[in-house]
Amino acid sequence: MTSPTAQPTDLSHVQPRDKAEILAQALPYIRRYHGKTMVIKYGGNAMTDPALQQAFAEDVVLLKLVGINPVVVHGGGPQIETLLQRLGKKGHFIQGMRVTDAETMEVVEWVLAGEVQQDIVGLINQAGGKAVGLTGRDGAMIRAQKLQLSDQQDPNVKHDVGQVGDIVSIDPSVVKALQDDQFIPVVSPIGFGEKNESYNINADVVAAKLATVLQAEKLLMLTNIRGVLDKAGQLLTELTPRRIDELCEDGTISGGMIPKIAGALDAAKSGVNAVHIIDGRVPHALLLEVLGDQPFGTMIKSH
Ligand code: ADP
Ligand code: MG
């Protein structure tokens, strides 16, 4: 993969014959994935560029039209940060989790379910698809409870991160019903508790669990970096559970990559066939991964 660029590639010099050849080469992948579900985590950080957003929406629609069932789970870190700043509040993270007091939770819900989700729904619809936005409340999908966050170094130490949720269960029936009717579900990572209280759940964690309960063929996590990098900044194309442990222990994996890699590994171990962390800054990253014949990003292995 060359360096990321948001500019669409100029294909005017490509001969129609070659274009047909390229399309034909996608056939084995289309056949393999027809009727399968793919959960796509669309990172808050990978979705701030309008040209990239449009390419993403086009890819999602194309996948749907060739008979694959994409389910989008979105984040919204940068967008939440912007609104918090406007309100004079500063975001604070512990081990990649946003500390969420009641006021922050309100902002999180506005931004995720109001702004970001509806932006994505609009973009997919404009690209010719039929997207439906959902939070974890819709169809009683995501039950959650307060997260007990153990310290990475000392598991006896617990961190209070406020209304950050841990998933209790996911009922995917609303997603399945929409899929069967040709809709593309777009899920905001908000769960509800026993007293109907809201929880802010890391979008990677939701995407991973949703992929598991849907028995998805693939989980694709689009992010704002080439994949998982080693200490020297080199891309790691494949990761085993053992290597992941090492990288977490020595601090090579930190911040937002912690919940991402944990979710990815959970999904891989729970039967999701292929789990990839890929560079959402590359135009048409989704198509490249699904229908292309060259691996890119980091593949997470179950053993
Ligand atoms: P997203 O919006 O995609 O969830 P995050 O900021 O939450 O993005 O997580 C991705 C970030 O994780 C990267 O931009 C990078 O700063 C950080 N990160 C920490 N450790 C690593 C690592 N070993 N390899 C790659 N990225 C890492
Ligand atoms: Mg993140």
Which ligand 1 atom lies nearest to the CA of residue 44?
A: 2
3-class state of residue 166 by DSSP: strand
CA 289–ligand 1 middle distance (angstroms):
19
Q: How confident is the model at residue 8 (pLDDT cuts 50, 70, 90)?
A: low
CA 148–ligand 2 middle distance (angstroms):
18
What does the pLDDT average to over 144-155? 90
**pLDDT at residue 46, as a whole number:** 73
Among 85-89, 92-96, 97-101, 168-172, top mean pLDDT goes to 168-172
CA 259–ligand 2 middle distance (angstroms):
7
Count Cβ atoms below 10 Å from residue 19 Cβ, excluding itself.
11
Give the amino acid at 66.
Answer: V
Q: Is the pLDDT of residue 10 over 80?
A: no
**Cα(149)–Cα(167) distance, rounded to whole angstroms?**
13
pLDDT one-digit tens code per residue, 213-259: 999 999 999 999 999 999 999 999 999 999 999 999 999 999 899 99
CA 119–ligand 1 middle distance (angstroms):
23
Q: Identify which of 81, 205, 223 to mutate to test ligand 1's pocket (most ligand atoms within 8 A of the CB).
A: 223
Q: Which residues pair with 275 in a beta bridge?
A: 219, 300
Q: Is the pLDDT of residue 270 over 80?
A: yes
**pLDDT at residue 47, as a whole number:** 82
Q: Which residue lies with its CA nearest to atom 13 of ligand 1?
A: 225
Q: Is the pLDDT of residue 19 over 90?
A: no
**Cα(193)–Cα(200) distance, rounded to whole angstroms?**
11
What's the order of all strands across the beta sheet hosting 131-135?
131-135, 184-188, 69-74, 37-42, 218-223, 274-279, 298-300, 238-239
pLDDT one-digit tens code per residue, 41-60: 998 677 878 999 999 999 99
**pLDDT at residue 180, as a whole number:** 87
Ligand 1 cavity residues, CB under 6 Å: 43-46, 75, 77, 204, 223-225, 228-229, 252-257, 260
Q: Is the pLDDT of residue 297 over 50?
A: yes
Find, among 300, 276, 301, the residue nearest to 290 by Cα.
276
Which ligand 1 atom lies nearest to the CA of residue 223?
A: 3
Query: DSSP alpha helices (H): ranges in 11-128?
Result: 16-25, 27-33, 50-65, 77-86, 102-109, 117-126
User: Worst-scoring range by mean pLDDT, 26-30, 87-91, 201-205?
Assistant: 87-91
Rounded percentage of the chain residues whose pLDDT exceeds 90? 80
What does the pLDDT average to over 275-293? 93
What does the pLDDT average to over 21-49? 90
3-class state of residue 84 by DSSP: helix
Looking at per-residue pLDDT, the higher value among 3 and 36 belongs to 36
**pLDDT at residue 68, as a whole number:** 97
**pLDDT at residue 91, as a whole number:** 82
What does the pLDDT average to over 168-195? 97
Q: Is the pLDDT of residue 7 over 90?
A: no
Q: Is the pLDDT of residue 3 over 80?
A: no
Which ligand 1 atom lies nearest to the CA of residue 75?
A: 2
Q: How confident is the model at residue 31 (pLDDT cuts 50, 70, 90)?
A: very high
Give me the DSSP letters along 176-215.
HHHHHTT-EEEEE-EEE-TTS-EEE--HHHHHHHHHHHTT
Average pLDDT over all residues of the chain = 93
CA 256–ligand 1 middle distance (angstroms):
5
Q: Are β-strands 274-279 and 218-223 bridged in parallel, bridged antiparallel, or unpaired? A: parallel
**Cα(46)–Cα(36) distance, rounded to whole angstroms?**
25
Q: Identify which of 202, 257, 276, 278 to mutate to test ligand 1's pocket (most ligand atoms within 8 A of the CB).
A: 257
**pLDDT at residue 1, as a whole number:** 38
Which ligand 1 atom lies nearest to the CA of residue 259?
A: 7
- The whole-model pTM stands at 0.93
**Cα(272)–Cα(302) distance, rounded to whole angstroms?**
9
